[in-house]
Amino acid sequence: MSATTQILGISFFNGDVDEALASMDQRGGFLIAPSGTCFARLRKDEMYRRAVIGADLTIADSGLMVLLWRLLRAESITRISGFKYLKHLLRKLKANGAGEIFWVLPSERAQQKLFQWSRWEAFPVASKNCYIAPRYGVEIEDRNLLSLLEQNRPSHVIIAIGSGAQEKLGHYLRENLSYRPAIHCIGAALGFVTGEQISIPDWADRIYLGWLLRLMTQPHRFVPRLIHGLQLPWLIWKYGENLPPLGRTSLVTDQ
């Protein structure tokens, strides 16, 4: 297991993407990839805090967090975007056989895009292995999904719903399933792969500009999120390695 770096009370994986994949294969549990707009939730949503702190593997998706940590703490952490992680995961699963994957999706449109992509890529996706998530509240309990997973017992569960909800869902599944699959909470990354959202070139992801492309194409959706992201420099400066104290609880999710 590679070293971790603690930022805002969260233990971030500090290895490369292949090591992250190998860790999930060996240990299972749930992986998360918080974006820069997620950290403000640590002070507002107790269930989210619990899920994020309890994640089995957390990758540093946020380029802003990585840069701030380098500037304010003079320490480096390896960035693995959710997009990069998912591409490597899908490549590995395709090479080894894609029959043991269960997909948790945000909408019918996302499911149709997944089916189209699967035909283009010759990557089998069965409708029985897809689940369109309801709109979850601040506390998550989904017995229907739990039952489906217990029946099928897939080795991998890919959760591609909104940040906030997906981390809590991953935590709920790990705590309630009778077995331990690898649960990958990768949010919008699946939409980048399937074309359900704007395609992000590798060069843009590599130099931390994926957020800018999303902002340019959907400003009405991402401007509010970026406003939350502006809290990150202050949070890192004030709390550093430590978990910020819980303040007012919010009942809002971004799903």
Task: Give the tens place of pLDDT for each residue, 6-28.
Answer: 999 999 999 999 999 999 999 99
What is the reported pLDDT for 248? Answer: 56
201: number of Cβ within 10 Å? 10
Which residue has 């190998």 as its token pair? Answer: 22
- Provide φ and ψ at 77, rounded to 5°: -135, 140
For 115, the token pair is 């089916």
Give the E-state strand segments of the chain in sequence order.
4-7, 10-13, 29-32, 57-58, 101-105, 130-132, 156-159, 182-185
- Report residue 254's pLDDT band, with 50, 70 and 90 as the boundaries: very low
The candidate with the shortest Cα–Cα distance to 124, out of 90, 87, 158, is 90
Whether residue 113 contacts residue 196, with contact meaning beta carbons closer than 8 Å, is answered with yes
- Please report which confidence band the pLDDT of residue 183 belongs to, taking 50, 70 and 90 as the band edges: very high
State yes or no: pLDDT of 210 exceeds 80.
Answer: no
pLDDT of residue 209: 52
CA dist 52 and 55 (Å) reads 5
Residue matched to tokens 């991998």: 156
Going from N- to C-terminal start, the domains of the chain cover: 4-239
Distance, CA of 255 to CA of 106 (rounded, Å): 8
Arithmetic mean of pLDDT over the chain: 86
Mean pLDDT of 77-103: 88
Residue 156 pLDDT > 90, yes or no? yes
Q: What is the pLDDT of residues 67-82, one digit of tens each?
A: 899 999 999 999 999 8
pLDDT at 249: 47
Q: pLDDT band for position 198 (50/70/90)?
A: low
Is 41's pLDDT higher than 60?
yes
